[in-house]
Amino acid sequence: MNVYDSARMEDVLKPLGYEMTDGPDQANMVILNTCHIREKASEKVYSELGRLKNIKKVRDENNEMIIAVAGCVAQAEGEEISRRAPYVDMVFGPQSYHNLPEMIAKAHRAGDGKGRGILMTEFPAEDKFDHLPDPVKPEGYSAFLSIQEGCDKFCTYCVVPYTRGAEYSRPTAHVLKEARQLVEQGALEITLLGQNVNAYHGDDGQGGEWSLGRLIRELAEIDGLERIRYTTSYPAEVDDDLISAHAEVPQLMPYLHLPVQAGSNRVLAAMNRNHTREQYLEIIAKLKAARPDLALSSDFIVGFPGENDRDFEDTLDIIRQVGFIQAFSFVYSARPGTPAATMDLQVEKAVANERLQILQKLLGDIQTDFNQSCIGKEFPILLEREGRNPGQLVGRSPYMQPVHVDAPLDFVGQIHDLKIVSARPNSLGAQLVDGERKRA
């Protein structure tokens, strides 16, 4: 989401004459687009700001360089940032980046000061998407499209409902228009984005609403759109319509990020996840019945308050049962203002770290096994760019594995059926199949 947001900020800034630089050394303005999800991410902002302050001191005698903090740390800690780093000029949350021109004008009017003190962290009534320019050309052949923002789920560990605000779905006409533009500009693959993407219920302009399943079916009608993905989903919102879209829409990739976080019912309840382990497994069974080649990835939190050895065993067990081929896993991080931060029985860091290592080893083994099991199979591979070695191209499998293949340069930007011939922990090697012809 932050990658997408940064690209949209770039879209807003281009008409003002701004261009990307290779690093802060050459920049007139530096925007840190920040993440507040765990303490480590949050704290990184302050060390980065210290670095920028020094660059500014060395380089910028007239104090012209603008230092800005955007994103969820800005949203959550606006005043705190100005206090801890008074030299920061602009602080603005994820709902405000369409106001960048106005903020920059204000910054310039404020003169060459140290810390121009501009703060924008309210949730404005207007739809920021209505005020953003059309996206400029996506980089490469795979594009992001934000269709939903915010979260009403209030998992007890999570800051997102506070930093990103309530759930909001973009109207269907806007999404379709942006998707068509992206395809016209060369995108073969679109990943639909939302903090809670499967809670999508976009206004269709005729008094009705489309679910995510319906939206995917309509997107699949766009000529030239070869691949559709969506992320991130909330298990309790996976409905039958979405499940049947997985059966009916061939462009929908057989790979789904469906975070379960933990495998113990006690912990899931304490997390306020709104489903049991059994219900999660049932959703997976239905999805796999609809699309037998579906593979899953997940997020995990270990060391949630009250998690004991048996609970942790349940998490390992659900990992073995589902066989997640990819995952992001984290030690629980207490976030100020969330209910879990003040729960009893906080787990010791050392215990949580040990559990994380065990969990990551298991996940790594499953990923390696899955990659090995791909050898000998043929997959459609979206060839995205040249590789490091001469004559080599790099692409993505339906399961998001990077794939290396020796192939002609003009295959870049096309999808080819390739035979997988080797596997590494994080990538695959492939060969052209005899008689392979262009697909896209």
Q: 248 to each of 117, 218, 254, 397, 417, how far by Cα in Å?
A: 53, 12, 12, 20, 21
Is position 132 an interface residue for ligand 5AD (rule: CB under 6 A)?
no
By CB under 6 A, name the one of 213, 259, 263, 387 that touches ligand 5AD. 259
Residues 115, 393: Cα–Cα separation, whole Å: 46
By CB under 6 A, name the one of 7, 37, 243, 247 that touches ligand 5AD. 37
Range in contact with ligand SF4 (rule: CB under 6 A) among 76-84, 129-137, 155-163, 388-396:
155-163
Is position 123 an interface residue for ligand 5AD (rule: CB under 6 A)?
no
Tokens encoding 85: 């780093």
To the nearest 10 degrees (0 to 180), the angle between helices 240-248 and 212-219 is 20
User: Shortest approach of ligand SF4 to residue 297 CB, angstroms?
Assistant: 15
- Is residue 35 a known part of a binding site? no
Residues 356, 302: Cα–Cα separation, whole Å: 6
Nearer to ligand SF4, 38 or 56 (CB): 38
- Is residue 158 a known part of a binding site? yes
The letter for the amino acid at 258 is: L
Is position 330 an interface residue for ligand 5AD (rule: CB under 6 A)?
yes
By CB under 6 A, name the one of 12, 81, 91, 160 that touches ligand SF4. 160
Query: H helices within 265-308, ranges in order?
Result: 265-270, 277-290
Q: How wide is the angle at C-alpha 74 spanned by C-alphas 299 and 179, nearest 5°?
A: 60
Q: For tokens 């912990």, what's the residue?
A: 267
Residue 43's binding partner among ligand 5AD, ligand SF4, none (Cβ under 5 to 8 angstroms by kind) is none
To the nearest 10 degrees (0 to 180), the angle between helices 100-109 and 2-13 is 60
Query: H helices within 129-211, ranges in order?
Result: 160-163, 172-184
Write the DSSP symbol of residue 261.
B
Is position 158 an interface residue for ligand 5AD (rule: CB under 6 A)?
yes
Residues 126, 11: Cα–Cα separation, whole Å: 19
Tokens encoding 337: 């203002």
Residues 156, 136: Cα–Cα separation, whole Å: 38
Is position 333 an interface residue for ligand 5AD (rule: CB under 6 A)?
yes
Query: H helices within 110-201, ranges in order?
Result: 160-163, 172-184
Restricted to residues 280-319, the positions that interact with ligand 5AD (CB under 6 A) are: 299, 301
- Is residue 155 a known part of a binding site? yes
Residues in the chain: 440
Nearer to ligand 5AD, 38 or 164 (CB): 38
> Cα 176 to the chain's mean position, in Å?
20
Nearer to ligand 5AD, 232 or 251 (CB): 232
By CB under 6 A, name the one of 82, 148, 169, 261 that touches ligand 5AD. 261
Number of residues that bind ligand SF4 (CB under 6 A): 10
Residue 330's binding partner among ligand SF4, ligand 5AD, none (Cβ under 5 to 8 angstroms by kind) is ligand 5AD
Nearer to ligand 5AD, 7 or 35 (CB): 35
Q: Which residues bind ligand 5AD (CB under 6 A)?
A: 37-38, 157-158, 259, 261, 299, 301, 330, 332-333, 335
Q: Which residues bind ligand SF4 (CB under 6 A)?
A: 151, 153-155, 158, 160-161, 195-196, 234
- Residue ranges of the binding site: 151, 155, 158
- Residue ranges of the binding site for [4Fe-4S] cluster: 151, 155, 158
